Amino acid sequence: MTKYGLHLALALPALMACDHWAIEADLRWGRDRRPLRYALRGPLPGHFLDGNAAPDREHPANDLPDEVAALLQNLAALPGPWRPAPSHAILDLPGVVQCVPDLEFVHQQTGQTVCLEVLGFWSRDAVWKRIELARKGLPEAVLFAVSKHLRVSEATLDEKLPAALYVYARVMNAHAVLQRVQEVAARADAPT
């Protein structure tokens, strides 16, 4: 729980803002690492545990992790037809895994969308699950941003897929992300 506890806490208000939701987690609790299953379903009375109002829909970037919010701000300052915004999509390939992107880029002239999921400090296993998702035919165009400490090569995904990996050192570079978004968009448009 230590590794993902903060991320779970940050995600919970967004989940609870939905009409119906469920979350389950298998944990190892305490010093003796006893197996524990955590499950919560909603809506809850009052909609939030602490009684506060729902997250501010006028400023959805407030719900993003700091590194993603900083990237969004830097991307918004770049010229061009791609408009980045926080994503509310859930990408699903039945029987494989679900993907919840952090951002989505919409091309202002064509309406084409490319999603971005930041896997910066996740496990290598999570990255390989996303790679499997792309290889098995996820229909949406998606870019996965991965911290270099996870030791995954950008060349891992076939250039014919409408998906790509962006490996970054410390901070995501807005220009590099936008370039890869354009590459993924071109892949998605290419005839198969």
**Strands 141-147 vs 163-168: parallel, antiparallel or unpaired:** parallel
| Residue 57 confidence (pLDDT) | 40
pLDDT < 70 regions, the chain: 1-13, 16-17, 43-63, 96, 120-121, 191-192
Would strands 91-93 and 97-99 be described as parallel, antiparallel, or unpaired? antiparallel
Cβ contacts of residue 88 below 8 Å, gap of 6+?
none
Domains and CATH numbers, the chain: 1-55 (no CATH), 60-189 (3.40.1350)
